[in-house]
Amino acid sequence: MRALLVLLEIVAVSAPLTWVWIQWGRDAYGELFLALSLPIYGLLGLTDLIPVGARDRFINYLPFLILMIVTPRLSLRRRVLGTLVGFLVIFCSHLVFVYAATQADAAGGARTPAGFMRIVPANTLSDALPFALWVLIAREFVWEKVSTVLGTAPPAAVEPDEAG
C-alpha cells in the first residue's frame, strides 16, 4: 500500500509539471537559454556557436525537480539550496550539451561515426545528470533505501543541516 501511495504522489507531482513544461516551460526556457548562452559562449570565444535544436533534451530539469519535491525527510534548506544548485549545474550541462551537439553536426551528424561518438556520450550524461545530482543531495535517504534493499546497515551520519 505504501508503494502505491508513493507512486500516486510522484504522478500527482509529475503530471502537472510535465504539462506546464510542454505548454509553456520548454519555449520559455529555450528563449532564456538563448539569451544567457550567447554571451557565455562569446566569453569562451565560441562566437560562431548558435544553440538550436536541443530544447527537447532540456527536459531533464523535470525529473530532478520532481525527485527533489517528493523525496521525504530532506530539510527545507537542503531541498531549496539543492534544487537551486542543481538547476545551475543542469544549465551548465546544457551549455556543454549544445556545444557537443554542434560539434557532432560539424562532424557529419549523429549518423556518422565521428558525430555519433560526440553526441551519444553527451546525451547519456545529460540524461543521467538529474539522477546523479539527486543522489548527491539526498544521499542519506538514498543510502537508507539501498541499505534496506541490500540488507546492510547504513553508516551513522549527521546531516550537515542538523549539525549546525
Residue reference for cell 538547476 = 87
pLDDT mean values, one per 10 residues, the chain (164 residues): 88 95 91 91 86 74 95 94 97 89 71 74 88 95 87 62 50
Which pLDDT belongs to residue 161?
56
Question: Cell digits for 108?
Answer: 557529419
Which pLDDT belongs to residue 25?
92
Which pLDDT belongs to residue 107?
66
pTM over cut 0.95? no
Which pLDDT belongs to residue 109?
66
Which pLDDT belongs to residue 155?
60
The single-letter DSSP state of residue 53 is S
Q: What's the rounded Cα separation, in Å, for the pair 133 and 31?
A: 25
Note whether 62 and 21 are within 8 A (CB).
Answer: yes
Q: Which of 119, 124, 74 is nearest to 98 (CA)?
A: 119
Q: What are phi and psi of 151, to 5 degrees?
A: 75, 30
Which pLDDT belongs to residue 117?
74
Q: Which amino acid is at 31?
A: E
Sign of CA dihedral 91, 92, 95, 99: negative
Which pLDDT belongs to residue 123?
83
Sorted by where each begins, the domain ranges of the chain are 2-139
Q: What's the rounded Cα separation, in Å, for the pair 139 and 92?
A: 22
Which pLDDT belongs to residue 164?
45
